């Protein structure tokens, strides 16, 4: 969630800045079109400045099989941005004196380890120590089938606590699943009803709601991977599982309305918002700190199935950006940076998507298991359908795109690898992290 930290000095006049911003917005459209044409990304994108939308763009399909193009009203699964909505509902419950942030989890779920020490604030800030159920391999055995409160709590409580409550931050979907059930208990209403009555109806958000089985006939987007020259549909997580940790569907424009309303005190009062912005280890209540150059913003990103989402607000700039993709083979942080650069009238470099062809016999030299003492996971390199693939221990395989005969990248995660077949090494970089792996 960290954007580029470069120092920007505004020296242009207002008229020149306006011209620059307009030119950059056209360039941003060209950039997004280029991503789509090269099958890097498809989805919907929006920018708001001073509370008003100033940029809207959609690319690709909501239903690829029917060649149904996405539009600004297409609904997408937003994943963990749902946590910001859930945190707002908790703060509204606090304002209505239905909850206290220092209330203990044992009030509702005494059977969970350390429940008598875990506060609602710990859950909001991911400082509870409750293990993240989506980190376990068994999650993929039930993620497409309906679950109940009872079954989810049974899954959560069987895992040993990761650390003592309040001592550290560790992201866990389990925290917000429990917060959802607590909201439903105290209000005696469903999460969907609470979302509608306390957030979407007051803000007149008609396309933001709890999702279910995806229905393309209702302008709801399916998610995809792109391989072998076509879009391949992805499985659908059953929305009974993420609940308020990730079950909302929306559009970028409505997400912008939501975060602007939150900032302007139209959902919760200033005291509650200040509480949400109480950042510890980069995270507050359902929001994370987001640096961009010399500015500090807040927001959340999300991922569910093959959907990826971003919602950031920068108070000093009065700029908000949001996008949701339903297919991505690209580093979405790069898109965030370019959207923010566009909003401040700053030029950016267009990527070069020239493909490099590497002979199969050369790729074969790179295959094998790579290890290093400096990194906790091993990385397996192998070929599949003529393409080099990478797979870290216990994780899914990912495609590697050739930048040269020995250099490869996985842009969606910002991963770069450089192989030396003679030495049997692989130089690995991701962000500021650099490691040298040795072939076994």
Interacting residues of 34 by C-beta distance below 8 A, sequence separation 6+:
350, 351, 353
pLDDT tens sequence for the chain (440 residues): 434 432 222 223 333 333 345 778 999 999 999 999 999 999 999 999 999 999 999 999 999 999 999 999 999 999 999 999 999 999 999 999 999 999 999 999 999 999 999 999 999 999 999 999 999 999 999 999 999 999 999 999 999 999 999 999 999 999 999 999 999 999 999 999 999 999 999 999 999 999 999 999 999 999 999 987 899 999 999 999 999 999 999 999 999 999 999 999 999 999 999 999 999 999 999 999 999 999 999 999 999 999 999 999 999 999 999 999 999 988 889 999 999 999 999 999 898 777 788 888 999 999 999 999 988 889 999 998 788 999 988 777 888 888 889 999 887 777 899 999 999 999 999 877 899 999 99
Half-sphere exposure of 339 (CA within 13 A, CB side): 27
Q: Which two tokens stand for residue 391?
A: 């797979």
Do 332 and 389 reside in the same domain of the chain? Answer: no
Residues 302 and 373 in one domain: no
Secondary structure (H, E, C), 330-384: CCHHHHHHHHHHHHCCCCCCCCCCCCCCCCHHHHHHHCEEEECCCCCCCEEEEEE
Residues 164 and 102 in one domain: yes
Question: For the domain that residue 417 is a member of, what is the CATH number?
Answer: 2.40.128.50
291 plus 379 within the same structural domain: no
Give the residue numbers spanning the domain of 404. Answer: 360-439
User: What total number of domains does the chain contain?
Assistant: 2
Task: Look at residue 153 and tell me if it is in a domain.
Answer: yes
- Is 390 part of a structural domain of the chain? yes
User: Does residue 350 lie within any of the structural domains?
Assistant: no
149 burial type by CB count under 10 A (0-12 exposed, 13-18 middle, 19+ buried) = middle
- Same structural domain, 90 and 205: yes
Q: Is residue 42 part of a domain?
A: no
Query: Which helix (H) or strand (E) is 52 found in, with range?
Result: strand 52-59
CB 111 within 8 A of CB 149: no
Say if residue 282 is in the same domain as residue 366: no
User: C-alpha distances in angstroms, 156 versus 89, 129, 404?
Assistant: 22, 11, 45
CA distance 121 to 62: 38
- Residue 34 domain-assigned (yes or no): no
**Do 302 and 391 belong together in one domain?**
no
Q: Domain for residue 7, yes or no?
A: no
- Count H helices, E strands: the chain? 12, 22
Backbone torsion region of residue 293, taken as left when φ is above 0, otherwise alpha when ψ lies between -120 and 50, otherwise beta: left
Pairing between strand 319-328 and 415-420?
A: unpaired
Q: What are the angstrom distances between the C-alpha of 371 and each of 81, 378, 425, 426, 440?
A: 35, 5, 9, 9, 7
pLDDT at 16: 33
The enclosing domain of 107 has a CATH number of 3.40.710.10
Q: Quote the pLDDT of residue 402.
A: 87
Q: Is residue 146 part of a domain?
A: yes
Do 172 and 315 reside in the same domain of the chain?
A: yes
Domain identity same for 232 and 375: no
What is the value of pTM for the model shown?
A: 0.83
**Which of 124, 62, 59 has the alpha carbon at shortest distance from 88?**
124
The predicted pLDDT at position 21 comes to: 54
Q: Which three-class secondary structure state does DSSP give residue 327? A: strand
- Same domain for 136 and 196, yes or no, is yes
Same domain, 323 and 424: no
CB 199 within 8 A of CB 265: no
Q: Is there a domain that residue 248 lies in?
A: yes
Structure tokens at 195: 């979302």
> What's the start-to-end Cα distance of the chain, in Å?
34
Q: Are residues 122 and 191 in the same domain?
A: yes
DSSP string, 163-209: S-TTS-----HHHHHHHHHHHHHHHTS-HHHHHIIIIIHHHT-SS-E
């Amino acid at each position: 969630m960290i954007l580029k930290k470069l120092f920007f000095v505004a020296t242009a006049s207002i008229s020149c800045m306006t011209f620059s911003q307009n030119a950059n917005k056209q360039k941003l459209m060209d950039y997004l079109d280029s991503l789509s044409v090269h099958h890097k990304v498809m989805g919907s994108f929006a920018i708001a400045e001073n509370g008003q939308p100033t940029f809207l763009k959609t690319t690709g399909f909501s239903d690829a099989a029917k060649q149904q193009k996405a539009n600004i009203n297409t609904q997408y699964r937003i994943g963990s941005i749902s946590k910001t909505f859930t945190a707002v509902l908790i703060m509204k419950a606090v304002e209505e004196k239905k909850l206290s942030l220092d209330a203990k989890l044992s009030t509702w779920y005494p059977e969970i380890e350390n429940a008598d020490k875990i506060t609602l604030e710990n859950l909001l800030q991911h400082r509870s120590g409750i293990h993240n159920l989506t980190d376990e391999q068994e999650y993929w055995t039930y993620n497409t089938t309906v679950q109940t409160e009872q079954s989810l709590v049974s899954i959560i409580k069987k895992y040993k606590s990761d650390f003592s409550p309040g001592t550290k931050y560790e992201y866990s979907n389990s925290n917000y699943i429990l917060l959802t059930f607590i909201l439903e208990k105290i209000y005696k209403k469903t999460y969907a009803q609470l979302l509608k009555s306390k957030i979407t109806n007051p803000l007149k958000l008609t396309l933001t709601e709890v999702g279910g089985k995806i229905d393309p006939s209702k302008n709801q987007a399916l998610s995809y991977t792109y391989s072998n020259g076509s879009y391949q549909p992805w499985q659908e997580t059953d929305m009974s599982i993420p609940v308020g940790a990730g079950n909302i569907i929306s559009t970028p424009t409505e997400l912008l309305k939501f975060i602007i309303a939150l900032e302007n005190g139209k959902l919760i009062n200033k005291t509650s918002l200040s509480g949400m912005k109480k950042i510890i280890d980069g995270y507050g209540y359902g929001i994370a700190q987001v640096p961009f150059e010399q500015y500090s913003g807040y927001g959340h990103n999300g991922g569910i199935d093959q959907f990826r989402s971003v919602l950031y607000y920068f108070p000093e700039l009065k700029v908000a950006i949001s996008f949701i993709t339903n297919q991505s083979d690209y580093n979405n942080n790069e898109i965030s940076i370019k959207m923010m650069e566009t909003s401040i009238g700053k030029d950016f470099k267009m990527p070069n998507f020239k493909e490099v062809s590497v002979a199969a016999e050369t790729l074969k030299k790179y295959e094998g298991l790579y290890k290093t003492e400096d990194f906790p996971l091993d990385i397996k390199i192998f070929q599949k359908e003529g393409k080099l693939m990478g797979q870290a221990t216990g994780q899914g395989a990912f495609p590697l795109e050739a930048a040269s005969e020995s250099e490869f990248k996985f842009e969606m995660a910002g991963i770069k690898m450089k192989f030396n077949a003679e030495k049997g090494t692989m130089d690995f970089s991701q962000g500021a992290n650099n490691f040298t792996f040795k072939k076994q």
